[in-house]
Amino acid sequence: MLRGLIFLWLASGTPTPVYSQLEGVEIPAAVEPRLRALATAYHRVTGKSLVITDGTRRPATQAALMLRNLERGDNVVRGYANKRAAAAVKAVWDAARRDKVDDAEKLARLTAVISSQVADGDYVSKHLREGAVDVRCSDMSVAERAAFVTAARTLGIAVVDESRTATPHFHLNFV
């Protein structure tokens, strides 16, 4: 009985996590406590909530995102830390274009190469290994962005500024 009362008091006396996530976004359980701490620290400084736009990805989702980026002319090798894995995905896409296959086949080929990489423990993105989330930054002022980056770094969370992409966000690496 006492345990339940302590829990209720803590729940009512402690700020709740101040973030939301887009529908379908999966936040890795291993990173959730640090994400909650970051959201709480950010909220204390700004009074604003964070919006999580991406979390754990499965190979098919990663392939769809990379296909979209490749089709619009993005340099995916430059955009990923694992250049070798990204180059392998791009090579498959280049071959699919040479073969003049439709978009469904391109997606299937990219999914196959990413699935194979994951099976080998090689990840083109930390999203695939449940170690990353993306946070919307398009609605943050310059001061709010600085507060966010400071809070993340204080908590030992690596921040990659991807605010100049088609979908502006901060990419957070937890692993």
Q: Which pLDDT value is given to residue 13?
A: 59
Both tokens of residue 175? 């692993």
CA-closest candidate to residue 93, choices 118, 120, 122, 72: 72
What was the pLDDT predicted at 102? Answer: 97
pLDDT in tens, 28-83: 999 999 999 999 999 999 999 999 999 999 999 999 999 999 999 999 999 888 99
**0.85 exceeded by pTM:** no
Q: Is 106 exposed, middle or buried (0-12, 13-18, 19+ CB in 10 A)?
A: buried
Amino acid in the structure at residue 71: E
Structural domains present in the chain? 15-56+130-173 (3.30.70), 59-125 (no CATH)
pLDDT tens, position by position, 130-156:
999 999 999 999 999 999 999 999 999
83-98 vs 59-71: helix axis angle to the nearest 10?
Answer: 70
